[in-house]
Chains A and B, each alone.
Chain A
Amino acid sequence: MEIFGIPTALLGSQLLVGLINGSFYAILSLGLAIIFGLLNIINFCHGAQYMMGAFVAWIALTRFGVNYWVSLIAAPLIVGVVGVVIERLMLRRLYKLDHLYGLLLTFGLALIFEGIFRDQFGISGESYEVPELLSGGVNLGFMFLPIYRGWVIVASLTVCFGTWYMIERTKLGAYLRAGTENSQMVQALGINVPLLITFTYGYGVALAAFAGVLAAPIFQVNPLMGSNLIIVVFAVVVIGGMGSIMGSIVTGLGLGLIEGLTKVFYPEASSVVVFVIMVIVLLVRPAGLFGKS
């Protein structure tokens, strides 16, 4: 069967692969959006933190025999703590300055982390085996879907919507959102805003690391895995409207699907399509699709 001259099987499978990539875009842009929403800082380090999540999982497995499931919780915690340290020691000093300094600081940190890991591990990448429980595949008719990749979609969507719920529907989330709008007022009401900010940054970083662990069995664990991905994720966040939680999730998934479609009809353009869309969106709706200007 064919749609527009392309066999459905190919279309379906590329869309599914697109959805998988979209899940990564969604989690990563969610983390960035949260950090930007509250701290007004573009966390250039996000890609490096994603990479560190993957490496922590790999090191845990190969050096300490710690399995994937433990890493899924432990890696985000460990990298999240690193994030907290960064926020406390360094980012904190920059809040009073032009926001661009925050961007530059995190950029510098990204270089440091990538350089260290590159020095230790080289760039050809280490392999991380798919965990036993998730290996093998399911025949969907139009394609053979490895179970692990299906898991990635499920896990990311769960975490994304869980985060959205926490921010939009819980008290903690309410404090966070209020803190973004008027931190002095919130502080006057007795909420420890600095602590909230630290927690927010840590959480955003933990999300990146979580994505890293998910990515390890698919993309090979290597020090540069974050740096190319992060640029696309920035575009996703800009399209979604920086600071919009639902915007970043929906845009991430949507762009993954569009990329998948492009790979079927015009593969060479698949890496540029996100940026083209970004330019168009910015011309038509400068605040982004879901942003409030």
Chain B
Amino acid sequence: MNAPVSFAESKMPLFLGVLFVLGLIAPFAIYPTFLMKILCYGLFACAFNLLLGFAGLLSFGHAAFLGTAGYVCGLMVRDLGVTPELGILAGTVSAGLLGWLFGWLAIKRTGIYFAMITLALAQMVFFLAIQIRATGGEDGLQGVPRGNLFGVVDLSDNIAMYYLVFAIFCLGFFIIYRTIHSPFGQILKAIRENEPRAISLGYDVAKFKLIAFVISAALAGTAGATKTLVFQLASLSDVHWHASGEVVLMTLLGGLGTILGPLVGAATIVALQTQLADSVGSWVTVIMGAIFVLCVLSFRRGIVGELQALIKRSGVN
């Protein structure tokens, strides 16, 4: 929905570098589990943004990928004794496959119909999660061990786990960044801006959309599998449509179609939820809803989008 601004873009490598360094030292100042939650949801939101912000497709069922990967990873690590990195890989692959299936069914339609189909498909996954005994249903998949990375590094130490999560986030982010700044990414943008034109130029639009969908689903799965290892638990909340709505909010709040927006949005929402959960209870939902409404009505560019616009204006001056 918005094209990035060139001034901010040229400074992007600098921003990213600074963030990287901050990320390396952060766990010594801030509670690591809180940071890991931000990174997992940040990756989830970045993956979602690839689909919505760059390909223009609103999926209202992305939780299906987050949750499915979480369950697959959890089951493999807990019951089959698989090492954590293979568990995350398995989660990613399963989410990618599911994304291929969903995408193939949903791509036929556009706009609101596309969103509704993804929502309904995700609901099927939700109900399957309740019914299949292996997931533990309402009780959730509990007691997932963090294990030893590559059989060597003990991940039950929060700091060790943090660096793994950080590395995974950086890898995922890098993949998305390269995808966006590649010819493939350019074509996606062209499709988003004017689909009939892209078709007339000879591009197999459906194929491009499907590929974008699969990449987005797979990376959402990576986030979900990692999250299961961090919290040692996979539950129905991860496949519930509220989680799908949350990621939309994070991306919208942070800035649709911007590189860093989703991470900023995820950090803000996770921080809000953590701060308010005890003191204000149900008001967390109200505040999230209010942020949604405000963003849609008058803050559509999101935090990063508005910042970029500000920089552009002051740059012109």
Contact = CB atoms under 8 A, between A and B. Distances in A.
> Is there a contact between chains A and B in the complex with CB atoms less than 8 Å apart?
yes
Interface of A: 40, 42, 90, 93-94, 98-101, 103-105, 107-116, 118-119, 231, 234-235, 238, 242, 268, 271-272, 275-276, 278-279, 282-283, 286
Given A90-B297, A101-B296, A112 B109 contact: no
A218 B280 CA distance: 31
Interface string B233-248: 0000000010001001
Interface stretch (B24-32, B34-42, B117-125, B211-219): B117-125
Contact of B117 (A93, A268, A272, A282): A282
Contact of B123 (A231, A283, A286): A231
B127 A272 contact: yes
28 contacts: A40-B112, A93-B297, A94-B297, A98-B111, A99-B112, A100-B111, A101-B300, A103-B112, A105-B293, A107-B248, A107-B292, A108-B289, A108-B290, A109-B289, A111-B245, A113-B289, A115-B289, A116-B282, A118-B282, A119-B282, A234-B120, A235-B123, A238-B116, A268-B131, A272-B124, A272-B128, A275-B120, A279-B121
Contact of A108 (B58, B281, B293): B293
Interface in B101-149: 105, 108-109, 111-113, 115-117, 119-121, 123-124, 127-128, 130-131
Nearest to A116: B286
A108 B111 CA distance: 19
Nearest to B241: A231
A110 B289 contact: yes
Contacts of B297: 90, 93-94, 105
Contacts of A103: 58, 60, 112, 115
Contacts of A235: 116, 120, 123
Given A90-B297, A109-B293, A42 B116 contact: yes
B285 A114 contact: yes
B164 interface: no
User: Of B115, B252, B283, B285, which is in contact with the most chain A CB atoms at under 10 Å from its CB?
Assistant: B285
